[in-house]
Chain A
Amino acid sequence: MSEEAEAALAAIFRTEWPRLVGAALRIVGDLQTAEDIVQETLLAAVDRWPLLGVPERPGAWLLTVCRNRARNLVRDTGRAQQRTLSLRPLLAGQAPADGEVREIADDQLRLIAMCCHPLLPTDAQVALTLRMVAGLTTEEIARGFHQGAATIAQRLVRAKRTLKEHRVAFADDDPDVAGRLPSILDVIYLVFNEGYLATTGGQLTRGDLAAEGHRLACLLTELTPDQPETWALRALLSFQLSRWDTRTSADGVLLTLDAQDRSRWNRELIDDGVHALARARNGARGPLLLQAELACCHATAPAFAATDWAAILALYDELQAIQDTPVVALNRAVAVAMASGPAAALPLLDKLTGDPALRHGHRVWAVRADLHHRLGDGVAALADYARALDLVSNDVERRYLADARQRAADQYRSRA
């Protein structure tokens, strides 16, 4: 089997995984049992397909095996009678008929909502979503977050136990599913961000996590096509992911927007972002939509010099009016510097370096160092670069900052 065929197979399994978990969960009602059944289903495919060939409709085959296994389990444990009502629609058909498509979609959405239940802390929501919806193993999740497998395993066990103890049911009429959408979006964004800008380690990006985040966002738009916010998240992630390959040079050096080769940006993802953004504009102008609009300004500018900084600043003004956080203020200050020059932005940065949420991170110092440098204040620039270097935890960013400081130091030394 070629690498291409393996990738195609992995794509099928990835797509089917949350459908299978949802279908199993609908029958057995317990997250751990559903996970076991889905694993067993994949293993059945690994046992049989190499000998019998890949079935014509692999998704239908997997769903049938999964449901049969779940039904057998329920029957074996003597719970069949209690479940008759929920089983009735499933007993009729083997493969998913057209009428079942909506039900399968609903199952997946309920599964995501269950994983993002407010009873669970955010890190548990993230881990559970990655395991149950994305199908990542404990080890893969641990690797993605640079944590021990035992820590993640414990987190998953605790999360499942919490849901069980609180009798969080996988019910058709769960009224909270729609209400949980904001936390679902948060979890997916968190997964993507952890992958997109790794907070620690030697790699700037952690491809698998970012790709999973983007995939989950796409899945969510399929499941909730009438929710503009989900389209906004998809647009935002598509735009950001379109630059994936150009964010570092071949030798691992961080490349900022002005240094990236725009001809290598992924056009397909940008087009997807533009399409998703159009759908998102049907809703209210919330934080996600505004961030997607900002990402669109960058992604669709033909060159760095052609970036519409006035439009970007206007969007940041709008964003800050509804989400006045230090991070938004910092990004807005950068837009001010680009639209009106570094001198206009410096007072904003001076204020932000005192912000408790920012002063312990490297970004605010790095931005101010750049502004001082552009204004020709070498002493202040070098001092801020030094502070940023003390605080940065990602090796690629550290290298970028060290190079920037060195360039600034060389420049001032030659002037002196």
Chain B
Amino acid sequence: MNEFLLLGTRPPTSGETSPARAAHDMAAVTAWHRWLRRWGLLRAFSLPQDRAAELRACLIVWASGLAAAQRLGAGWGRVTGYQVTVLPLLDGSAGKERER
């Protein structure tokens, strides 16, 4: 397993929201995070101080490879509406070391 950094950015114009929609979105995001934690895939997270910035959240996740991390990123983007960038954090050897 390797570590990957998922960067979630929200474009400045991301459409209208309403109380009902925000609650619905939050329920979906919460369920997704719960799933990520249950499977032990969430290593860490960080939230920016400046809430007005386009960068909204960072996750460090475990994944078997870049393709798997990108699938996680796509799922995260789907529930949050973020544009997600996936970056490998550790090289393969470090990941293999952990697997041992």
- Chain A interfacial positions (CB closer than 8 Å to B): 1, 5-7, 9-10, 12-14, 16-17, 39-40, 42-52, 65, 69, 72, 135-140
Contacts and interface: CB of A to CB of B under 8 A. Distances in A.
Given A6-B27, A9-B27, A40-B52, A51 B19 contact: no
A69 B52 contact: yes
8 contacts: A16-B19, A43-B17, A45-B22, A46-B29, A47-B51, A49-B30, A52-B47, A137-B21
Nearest to A37: B52
A10 B23 contact: yes
Interface residues of B, number: 26
Question: What's the dominant secondary structure at chain B's contact region?
Answer: helix
Interface string B1-45: 000000000100010111111111111011111000000000001
Given A46-B29, A72-B52, 5 more contacts: A44-B51, A45-B26, A137-B17, A137-B21, A139-B16
A40 B52 CA distance: 8
Contacts of B51: 40, 44, 47-48, 65, 69
Nearest to B34: A1
A48 B21 CA distance: 16
A42 B56 contact: no
Contacts of A49: 26, 30
A72 B22 CA distance: 23
A160 B66 CA distance: 48
Contacts of B83: none
Given A40-B52, A51-B47, A65-B51, A1 B16 contact: no
Interface of B: 10, 14, 16-27, 29-33, 45, 47, 51-52, 56-57, 80
Contacts of B31: 1
Contacts of B26: 1, 6, 9, 45-46, 49-50
A35 to B, nearest CB: 9
A138 B16 contact: yes
Contacts of A44: 51
Nearest to A10: B23
B17 to A, nearest CB: 5
Contacts of A51: 33, 45, 47, 57
A72 B49 CA distance: 13
A40 B23 CA distance: 14
Contacts of B32: 50
B99 to A, nearest CB: 27
A12 B19 CA distance: 8
A65 B52 CA distance: 10
B18 A137 contact: yes
A85 B33 CA distance: 43
Contacts of A135: 18-19
B30 A47 contact: no
A138 B17 CA distance: 9
A269 to B, nearest CB: 21
A75 to B, nearest CB: 12
B25 to A, nearest CB: 5
A14 B45 CA distance: 29
